[in-house]
């Protein structure tokens, strides 16, 4: 600890503390622009100049390290004169167009100019002008306003991992720009808008729509990936205008992914369902709530009575709130059906009934940063979990060895220790090789099921190089003292998900490591806790689509896009006698197959809870009133329960639902456990041309799909058939040529009619293993191709 005095205030600070941090601890604000606690020190704006005792010149507080006995003066003549002179320099070429600038009212330059600027300008010369840049659909630029603090440049380089912005030219001709007029395509790009201390980078979707002081600020929680980022949702006239991060070091730090930041556009989409609707004689009629609810209750009751409640199935979106899931589960069980599931993209349910608890991340989010060895299995990490990828990126810079085994070599922008890529069917064998190598290094006998892998085995890990990489990864893991194994969305959706789970468990036991699942959606943990999974007698998501039910209850889900096999799901919907849809949106597909559409509130219009991937219970309130006649889904389910004369549907608030299920409001849910007992390790053989299906970041859920800005980004291009050069040659096509892809493999009886072909552009992707084609799921163009995993037919088309 060091003795330090600032403006006469004495305090003790840690070694290595910067003057600006020490001042913060003392509650003293030092004006600054380029300094940001999460970014490297640039010391270029010079606004934070302060007087340091015995130093002849004013020193930048952001770059000066506290020494023992140091005395700093932030308001002395020397300091203030320096700060005021810097402000004068900053303003001479600044356009001072605050009245038409979107940053007005939340501009650091504007705020500090009040304190440090002068009322009249001494600069009488011509100002410099900088041409604006096109950085894509999300970031709007007014580069003349730029003060060259380079926060955005450092962000892209250090946090997002790829230097998409840079400062070119010299002197006052210096400009921040992208390389060769490219757009900024990072999935974290929107953060530069927050970082920009002036109006140079502003939000394109929000541009010119409101002033910050006109907006109400409400706290909320992101409904997208499993992280549960904390949000500030800004509203005006009962409309969500903008979403900003709410700083929470435990979860999202001060960042948001673009999906979380811009998906709010979907809330205001023209596809919003604002009145209950019932299909009568093939025609949609807008009806009153009581009519629609009666209709739904009748449909449920009739089928239960005439055909048995087992003929009713409920598919819940994993993005639904905890309370909605709990009530839907209660409703289904009340009418006697166990057919309820929210794990829509999962295809292997062998672990059901064998789980020892609720699957979760296996550690706290903050603990990810402290791991010294990490193995990520089956994850499109950067796109599926942008902020967890960011944490691993920072950890890797500090020396954490991050290894990956997966089926596609997407550049994670993380300094990886090792990476092995194998076809989806070979992923379990590849993972087993790592386990086997670890066991050998530890001198422990291996599971007999692993005999098939390695030398002389029948299960292939893809290539000899992969086997070698597996050994390298094993050696890395064994050398660690704080090891984490993370199973990504791809591993959870994999047809051998249970095997991967069992392998991870064995590996974790051998290493004394933590292992867990990267939660795909906002309530991937919450769904289990809410009971939205079938018990032994019920049918899981895949089963109730493969063996179609007579009535489906859909809560926020769009089965054709959200399920593991879109074609199968669509077929099941189309043959059902009744499909009851609770959704904020009326999609063209739902208008076709549904019989009743009940308008429910998206996350912004209802109170509720998301249980994030680390099991953290995060409740939130509505930020606006429901649009039109939409109502919170928990209320709709409550009334439906009453109409069906079920017990236990007398809740007056979502909080009561939560408290009843969780027994209060714990910070974390209990019963979290990733282990499984008695899951057989199956190592299948490769089969034909295999599909590798990712769920592209901006197609992943109903909100993102309806955000025009997100849909205009490079992350939302239509699916292509990506394959390596050998595959292209084999097919006789060139990158950019068209291929005809056909659904192959095991179509269920019901879906066979819908399984078809898609004509896509072939694209060279050297990160795809031999014999595989990568075709994104969750897109209308690829529904016909059926399951996310399995074989396809591909020919020149």
Partner 1 sequence: MALLQSINPLLSAGWQRDAHEWRLENDTGWHLKDYEARGGYQSLRKILAAKMSPDDVIAEVKKSVLRGRGGAGFPTGLKWSFMPKAAPEKYIVCNTDEGEPGTFKDRDIQRFDPHAVIEGMIIAAYAVGAGRGYNYIHGEIYELYQRFEQALDEARAAGLIGQNILGSGLNFELFAHQGWGAYICGEETGLLESIEGKKGQPRYKPPFPANVGLYGKPTTINNTETFASIPYILRDGGDAFLNLGKPNNGGTKLFSVSGHVNRPGNFEVPMGTPFPKLLEMAGGMRGGRKLKAVIPGGSSAPVLPADIIMDCTLDYDSIAKAGSMFGSGAVIVMDETVCMVQALERLSWFYYEESCGQCTPCREGTGWLYKVIHRIEHGLGRPEDLDLLSDVSTNIMGRTICALGDAAALPVLSFTKHFRSEFEYHIEHKKCLVPRDVQKAGSTFHTRLMAGTAC
Could you tell me which of 604, 621, 611 has the C-alpha nearest to residue 665?
Answer: 611
Find the part of the chain contacting partner 1 (CB under 8 A) among 44-52, 372-380, 745-753, 766-774. 44-52
CB of 155 to partner 1, least distance (A): 17
Choice between 49 and 792, CB closer to partner 1 = 49
Find the part of the chain contacting partner 1 (CB under 8 A) among 88-96, 220-228, 307-315, 437-445. 88-96
Give CA–CA dist 691/460, Å, rounded.
17
Give CA–CA dist 394/413, Å, rounded.
11
Choice between 121 and 753, CB closer to partner 1 = 121
For residue 563, give both structure tokens.
């399920």
Choice between 44 and 212, CB closer to partner 1 = 44
For residue 200, give both structure tokens.
């140079």
Total length of the chain? 797
CB 140 within 8 A of CB 202: yes
For residue 51, give both structure tokens.
């007087």
Site for partner 1 (CB under 8 A): which residue of 85, 108, 248, 369?
85
Cβ count within 10 A of residue 88? 16
What are the C-alpha distances in Å from 316 to residues 71, 256, 321, 556, 633? 61, 26, 10, 6, 12
Under rule CB under 8 A, residue 196 binds partner 1:
no
Choice between 44 and 463, CB closer to partner 1 = 44
Under rule CB under 8 A, residue 46 binds partner 1:
yes
Cβ count within 10 A of residue 746? 12
Site for partner 1 (CB under 8 A): which residue of 48, 50, 147, 617?
147
Give CA–CA dist 70/72, Å, rounded.
7
Under rule CB under 8 A, residue 370 binds partner 1:
no
Under rule CB under 8 A, residue 58 binds partner 1:
yes
Find the part of the chain contacting partner 1 (CB under 8 A) among 41-49, 177-185, 517-525, 789-797. 41-49
Choice between 147 and 773, CB closer to partner 1 = 147
Could you tell me which of 562, 785, 780, 617 has the C-alpha nearest to residue 691?
Answer: 785
Under rule CB under 8 A, residue 168 binds partner 1:
yes
DSSP assignments along 586-611, one per residue: --HHHHHH-SEEEEB--GGGS-EEEE
Find the part of the chain contacting partner 1 (CB under 8 A) among 3-11, 112-120, 160-168, 443-451. 160-168
Under rule CB under 8 A, residue 112 binds partner 1:
no
Cα dihedral: 363, 368, 369, 371 (round 10): 90
Find the part of the chain contacting partner 1 (CB under 8 A) among 7-15, 50-58, 415-423, 744-752. 50-58
Which run of H or of E encompasses 510? Answer: helix 497-511
Under rule CB under 8 A, residue 696 binds partner 1:
no
For residue 341, give both structure tokens.
């599931």
Find the part of the chain contacting partner 1 (CB under 8 A) among 17-25, 85-93, 183-191, 530-538. 85-93
Under rule CB under 8 A, residue 60 binds partner 1:
yes
Find the part of the chain contacting partner 1 (CB under 8 A) among 46-54, 191-199, 614-622, 661-669. 46-54
Choice between 171 and 663, CB closer to partner 1 = 171
Site for partner 1 (CB under 8 A): which residue of 27, 173, 213, 281?
173
Under rule CB under 8 A, residue 108 binds partner 1:
no
Place of tokens 């791809």: 490
CB of 201 to partner 1, least distance (A): 18
CB of 130 to partner 1, least distance (A): 12
Site for partner 1 (CB under 8 A): which residue of 8, 54, 114, 122?
122
Site for partner 1 (CB under 8 A): which residue of 17, 51, 93, 493?
93
For residue 428, give both structure tokens.
């379990």
CB of 74 to partner 1, least distance (A): 16
CB of 136 to partner 1, least distance (A): 23
Angle at the Cα of 710 (from 341 to 258), degrees rounded to 5?
Answer: 80
Choice between 32 and 373, CB closer to partner 1 = 32
Q: β-pairing, 175-178 with 201-203? A: unpaired
CB of 122 to partner 1, least distance (A): 6
Which run of H or of E encompasses 466? Answer: helix 464-478
Under rule CB under 8 A, residue 333 binds partner 1:
no
Detail the DSSP E strand segments found in 584-683.
596-599, 608-611, 617-620
Find the part of the chain contacting partner 1 (CB under 8 A) among 164-172, 231-239, 342-350, 620-628. 164-172
Under rule CB under 8 A, residue 123 binds partner 1:
yes
Give CA–CA dist 429/521, Å, rounded.
27
Those residues whose C-beta lies under 8 Å from the C-beta of residue 448, and which sit 6 or more positions away, are none
Choice between 179 and 621, CB closer to partner 1 = 179
Residue 496 exposed, middle or buried by CB count within 10 Å (0-12, 13-18, 19+): buried
Under rule CB under 8 A, residue 24 binds partner 1:
no
Site for partner 1 (CB under 8 A): which residue of 16, 99, 119, 170?
170
Give CA–CA dist 590/510, Å, rounded.
48
Torsion over CA: 112, 118, 120, 122 (sign): negative
Site for partner 1 (CB under 8 A): which residue of 2, 63, 478, 591?
63
CB of 174 to partner 1, least distance (A): 3
Site for partner 1 (CB under 8 A): which residue of 43, 98, 475, 543?
43
Under rule CB under 8 A, residue 90 binds partner 1:
yes
Give CA–CA dist 380/683, Å, rounded.
22
Task: State the residues that interact with partner 1 by CB under 8 A.
Answer: 41-47, 49, 56-58, 60, 63, 82, 85-86, 88-90, 92-93, 122-123, 125-126, 128, 147-148, 166-174
């Amino acid at each position: 600890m060091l003795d330090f005095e600032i403006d006469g205030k004495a305090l003790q600070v840690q070694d290595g503390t910067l003057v600006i941090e020490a001042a913060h601890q003392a509650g003293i604000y030092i004006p600054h622009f380029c300094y940001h606690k999460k970014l490297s020190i640039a010391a270029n704006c010079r606004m934070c100049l302060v007087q340091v005792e015995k130093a002849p010149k004013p020193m930048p507080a952001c770059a000066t390290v506290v020494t023992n006995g140091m005395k700093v003066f932030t308001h002395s003549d020397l300091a203030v004169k320096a700060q005021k002179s810097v402000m004068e320099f900053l303003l001479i070429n600044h356009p001072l167009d605050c009245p038409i600038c979107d940053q007005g009212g939340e501009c650091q330059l504007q705020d500090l100019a009040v304190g440090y600027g002068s009322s009249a300008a001494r600069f009488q010369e011509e100002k410099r002008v900088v041409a604006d840049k096109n950085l894509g659909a999300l970031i709007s630029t007014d580069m003349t306003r730029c003060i060259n603090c380079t926060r955005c440049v450092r962000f892209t380089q250090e946090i997002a991992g790829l230097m998409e912005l840079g400062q070119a030219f010299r002197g006052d001709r210096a400009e921040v720009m992208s390389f060769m007029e490219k757009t900024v395509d990072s999935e974290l790009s929107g953060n530069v808008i927050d970082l920009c201390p002036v109006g140079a980078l502003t939000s394109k979707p929000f541009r010119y729509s409101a002033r910050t002081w006109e907006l109400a600020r409400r706290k909320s929680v992101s409904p997208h990936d499993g992280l549960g980022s904390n949000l500030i949702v800004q509203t005006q006239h009962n409309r969500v205008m903008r979403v900003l991060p709410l700083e929470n070091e435990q979860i999202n730090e001060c960042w948001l992914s673009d999906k979380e930041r811009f998906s709010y556009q979907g809330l205001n989409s023209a596809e919003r369902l604002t009145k209950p609707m019932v299909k009568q004689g093939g025609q949609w009629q807008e009806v009153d709530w009581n009519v629609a609810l009666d209709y739904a209750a009748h449909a449920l009751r009739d089928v239960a009575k005439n055909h048995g409640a087992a003929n009713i199935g409920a598919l819940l979106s994993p993005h639904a709130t905890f309370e909605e899931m709990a009530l839907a589960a209660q409703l289904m069980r009340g009418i006697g059906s166990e057919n309820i599931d929210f794990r829509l993209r999962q295809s292997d349910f062998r672990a059901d009934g064998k789980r020892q608890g609720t699957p979760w991340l296996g550690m706290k989010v903050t603990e990810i940063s402290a791991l010294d060895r990490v193995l990520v299995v089956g994850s499109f990490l950067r796109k599926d979990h942008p902020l967890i990828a960011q944490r691993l990126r920072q950890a890797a810079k500090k020396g954490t060895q991050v290894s990956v085994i997966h089926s596609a070599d997407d550049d994670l922008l993380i300094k990886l220790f090792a990476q092995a890529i194998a076809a989806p069917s070979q992923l379990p064998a590849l993972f087993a090789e790592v386990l086997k190598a670890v066991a050998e290094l530890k001198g422990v006998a291996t599971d007999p099921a692993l005999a098939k892998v390695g030398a002389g085995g029948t299960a292939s890990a893809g290539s000899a190089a992969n086997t070698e990489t597996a050994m390298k990864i094993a050696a890395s893991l064994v050398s660690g003292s704080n090891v984490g194994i993370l199973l990504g969305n791809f591993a959870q959706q994999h047809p051998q998900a249970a095997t991967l789970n069992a392998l991870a468990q064995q590996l974790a036991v051998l290493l004394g490591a933590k292992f867990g699942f990267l939660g795909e959606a906002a309530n991937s943990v919450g769904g289990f806790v809410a009971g939205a999974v079938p018990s032994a007698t019920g049918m899981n998501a895949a089963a109730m689509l493969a063996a179609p039910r007579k009535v489906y209850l859909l809560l926020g889900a769009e089965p054709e896009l959200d399920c593991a096999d879109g074609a199968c799901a669509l077929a099941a919907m189309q043959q059902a006698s009744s499909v009851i849809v609770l959704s904020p949106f009326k999609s063209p597909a739902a208008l076709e197959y549904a019989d009743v559409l009940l308008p429910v509130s998206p996350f912004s219009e209802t109170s509720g809870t998301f249980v994030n991937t680390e099991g953290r219970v995060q409740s939130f309130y509505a930020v606006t009133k429901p649009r039109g006649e939409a109502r919170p889904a928990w209320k709709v389910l409550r009334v439906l329960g009453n109409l069906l004369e079920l017990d236990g549907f007398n809740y007056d608030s979502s909080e009561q639902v939560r408290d009843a299920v969780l027994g209060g409001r714990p910070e974390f849910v209990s019963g979290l456990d990733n282990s499984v007992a008695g899951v057989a390790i199956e190592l299948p053989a490769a089969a034909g041309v295999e599909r590798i299906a990712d769920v592209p970041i901006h197609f992943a859920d109903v909100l993102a799909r309806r955000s025009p800005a997100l849909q205009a980004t490079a992350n939302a291009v239509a699916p292509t058939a990506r394959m390596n050069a050998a595959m292209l040659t084999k097919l006789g096509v060139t990158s950019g040529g068209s291929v005809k892809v056909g659904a192959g493999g095991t179509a269920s009886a019901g879906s066979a009619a819908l399984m078809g072909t898609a004509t896509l552009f072939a694209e060279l992707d050297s990160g795809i293993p031999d014999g595989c084609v990568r075709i994104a799921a969750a897109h209308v163009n690829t529904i016909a191709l059926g399951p996310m995993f399995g074989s396809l037919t591909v020919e020149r088309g």
